[in-house]
């Protein structure tokens, strides 16, 4: 049990009383996500939310991100970001949206990276009240993919055109121990079906030990993604009554262990709807500040899932759902406060929500997703084993065409990771403004691979026109000429997998 007093948080551990003060560089969850600091931040935000002058000053500070910054630490603090979130002045909110869009273009250009989730197993020993995989759910058919089934799913994903996966599994030491996850990763990387290949496997599995993170690193993990669900410890403990995930500190300190185990890129996320959004937003920014303070590298990605209906789960049971306009603002403010981070939105959200989110900050989206174990090899979308309802049910080809209609370049690029540009090296690269000379041609070449191997004729036509237009934007002449050569080789079937 813990109780709060002033700025200091006490937590009883046996007979000892431990004092927790706010310290972003601490490795203790109660110190870097300090409850009192969040409450003070929220009070500060309420006290200053109508101070339009202060909001403008904060936005001015954040504008320095328009030229990718030398120092990648956040230019605005969680307190300042919380003031902007609380402000309801229409003019300031418009400035927030405009600045977020410009910062996004400065760091990520108009490229959007595509990926798909691959659900390996829905066995779970945890009791998460919002998740249909919870151990008490006796109605959900449980399944874990065999290696043959993994192969079939991966071939189906490769045949859609995917190059990047996020593997997902419930927590179960018997049905999905680390050896099973590692075996699946090896299987996934080994499959080369026609011109297909999965070139980056991100992993979303429960918090684990430094040793197991080291094994994931050796198995060539891309990003280790773990959602915090909620940063409010009391709420966290209510929502996770049983199982290993019920240990708040074990879960919250997982990214630090992952980095200690050698994983360079870690992803954060909150499951919006479980707790008040201002609390979650503040916790999320504090977590990013913590990673920067301890490891010198902030989160590689931040995801923004919202609770969705699922078997045995009614999102209305959680009274913290956020309306779309607030959701848009949160995305814009994450982009402003953590400008370098990749931001992910999944098919939990509808086409129209995703369209706006792309403008304000999202840089990665899933497409053609199935959230059930074995879903990609089934003709019809299976609902009984789905982790959550998928709002955006378009095919990958439809998503690719829609992105291009909105002037986004669909990218299947995985080059940075494969060239060792991860962690602080990725940050250096990103802040050095190298995106147009590297990421832009890489995106065009992977788009061309997609167009040649998988696109429908209409998407192919749209895509080839886009590639021709976007090629002209590569500033370095030699790089442009080389890209043109590579593109022509891909189009003529003389090679693929070129990268800078």
Q: CB 402 → ligand SAM: shortest distance, Å? A: 23
The residues pairing with 16 across neighbouring beta strands, listed in sequence order, are: 13
Minimum Å gap between C-beta 458 and ligand SAM is: 33
For ligand SAM, the closer of residues 131 and 336 by Cβ is 131
DSSP assignment of 116-179: EEEEEE-------TT-TT-TT--SSPP-B--HHHHHHHHHHHHHHT--EEEEEE---TTTS-HH
C-beta closer to ligand SAM: residue 297 or 373? 373
Closest CA to 140 of 313, 274, 271: 313
CB neighbour burial string for 344-357, b if at least 16 within 10 angstroms, e if fewer: bbbbbbeeebbbbb
| Choice between 130 and 450, CB closer to ligand SAM | 130
Quote the least distance from Cβ 122 to ligand SAM, whole Å: 8
Looking at the Cβ atoms of 86 and 125, the one nearer to ligand SAM is 125
Q: Is the dihedral of CA 322, 327, 329, 330 positive or negative?
A: positive
Q: Are 303 and 346 in contact (CB under 8 A)?
A: yes
What is the smallest separation between the CB atom of 243 and ligand SAM, expressed in angstroms? 9
Residue 483 burial (C-beta neighbours within 10 Å; 0-12, 13-18, 19+):
buried
Instruction: State in angstroms the smallest separation of the CB of 406 from ligand SAM.
Output: 25
Query: Contact positions toward ligand SAM, by CB under 6 A?
Result: 130-131, 168, 170-171, 204-206, 226-227, 229, 245, 271, 305, 307-308, 310, 313, 348, 387-388
Q: Give the span between the Cα atoms of 165 and 159, in whole angstroms.
A: 13
**Strand 8-13, strand 16-20: pairing:** antiparallel
CB of residue 135 to ligand SAM, shortest distance in Å = 12
Q: What is the C-alpha separation between 189 and 154, in angstroms, rounded?
A: 9
Please check whether residue 391 is in contact with residue 324, taking contact to mean a CB–CB distance below 8 angstroms: no
**Residue closer to ligand SAM, measured from CB, 386 or 470:** 386
Nearer to ligand SAM among residue 131 and residue 150 (C-beta): 131
Distance (Å, whole) CA 364 – CA 414: 12
Least spacing, CB of residue 102 vs ligand SAM, in Å: 30
Find, among 359, 367, 355, 353, the residue nearest to 396 by Cα: 367
Minimum distance, C-beta of residue 323 to ligand SAM, in the bound complex (Å) = 17
Compare residues 75 and 271 and give the one whose CB is closer to ligand SAM: 271
CB of 375 to ligand SAM, least distance (A): 13
| Nearer of residues 132 and 410 to ligand SAM, judged by Cβ | 132
Q: Which is nearer to ligand SAM, 77 or 252 (CB)?
A: 252
How far is residue 154's CA from residue 152's CA, in Å, rounded to a whole number? 5
Smallest separation, CB 385 to ligand SAM (Å): 12
Quick one: 68 or 305, whose CB is closer to ligand SAM?
305
Instruction: Please check whether residue 365 is in contact with residue 146, taking contact to mean a CB–CB distance below 8 angstroms.
Output: no
The SS3 call for residue 184 is: helix
**Least distance to ligand SAM from the beta carbon of 279, Å?**
16
- Rounded to whole angstroms, the Cα distance separating 12 from 2 reads 6
Query: Which residue, 59 or 353, has its beta carbon nearer to ligand SAM?
Result: 353
Can you name the residues that pair with 366 across neighbouring β-strands?
115
Triad 390, 136, 253: Cα angle to 5°: 75
């Amino acid at each position: 049990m813990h109780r709060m007093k002033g700025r200091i948080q006490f937590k009883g551990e046996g007979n000892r009383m431990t004092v927790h003060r706010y310290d972003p560089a601490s490795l203790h969850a109660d110190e870097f996500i300090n409850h009192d600091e969040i409450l003070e931040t929220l009070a500060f935000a309420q006290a200053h939310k109508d101070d339009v002058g202060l909001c403008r000053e904060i936005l001015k500070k954040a504008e320095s991100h328009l030229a990718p910054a030398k120092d990648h630490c956040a230019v605005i603090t969680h307190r300042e970001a919380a003031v902007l979130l609380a402000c309801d002045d229409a003019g300031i909110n418009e400035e927030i949206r405009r600045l977020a869009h410009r910062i996004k273009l400065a760091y990520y250009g108009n490229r959007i990276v595509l990926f798909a989730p691959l659900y390996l197993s829905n066995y779970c020993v945890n009791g998460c009240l919002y998740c249909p995989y919870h151990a008490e759910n006796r109605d959900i058919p449980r399944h874990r993919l065999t290696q043959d089934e993994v192969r079939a799913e991966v071939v189906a994903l490769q045949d859609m055109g995917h190059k990047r996966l996020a593997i997902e599994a419930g927590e179960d030491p018997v049905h999905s121990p680390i050896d099973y996850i590692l075996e699946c990763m090896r299987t996934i990387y080994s499959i080369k079906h026609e011109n297909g290949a999965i070139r980056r496997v991100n992993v979303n599995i429960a918090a684990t030990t430094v040793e197991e993170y080291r094994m994931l690193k050796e198995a060539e993990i891309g990003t280790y993604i773990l959602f915090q669900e909620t940063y409010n410890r009391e709420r966290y403990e209510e929502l996770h009554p049983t199982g290993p995930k019920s240990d708040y500190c074990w879960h919250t300190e997982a990214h630090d262990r992952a980095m200690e185990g050698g994983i360079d890129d870690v992803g954060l996320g909150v499951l919006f709807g479980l707790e008040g959004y201002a609390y979650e937003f503040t916790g999320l920014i504090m977590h990013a500040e913590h990673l920067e303070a301890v490891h010198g590298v902030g989160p590689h990605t931040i995801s923004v899932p919202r609770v969705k209906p699922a078997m045995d789960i009614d999102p209305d049971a959680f009274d913290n759902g956020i309306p779309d306009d607030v959701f848009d603002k949160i995305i814009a403010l994450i982009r402003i406060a953590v400008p370098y981070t990749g931001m992910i939105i999944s098919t939990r959200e509808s086409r129209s929500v995703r369209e706006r989110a792309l403008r304000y900050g999202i840089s990665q989206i899933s497409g053609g997703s199935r959230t059930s174990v074995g879903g990609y090899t089934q003709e019809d979308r299976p609902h009984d084993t789905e982790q959550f309802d998928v709002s955006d049910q378009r095919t990958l080809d439809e998503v690719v065409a829609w992105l291009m209609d909105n002037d986004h370049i669909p990218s299947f690029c995985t080059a940075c990771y494969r060239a060792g540009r991860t962690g602080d090296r990725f940050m250096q690269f990103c802040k050095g403004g190298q995106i147009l000379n590297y990421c832009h041609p890489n995106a065009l070449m992977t788009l061309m691979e997609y167009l040649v191997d998988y696109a429908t004729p209409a998407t192919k036509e749209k895509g080839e026109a886009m590639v021709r237009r976007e090629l002209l934007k590569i500033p370095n002449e030699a790089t442009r000429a080389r890209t043109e050569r590579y593109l022509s080789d891909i189009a003529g079937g003389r090679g693929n997998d070129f990268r800078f």
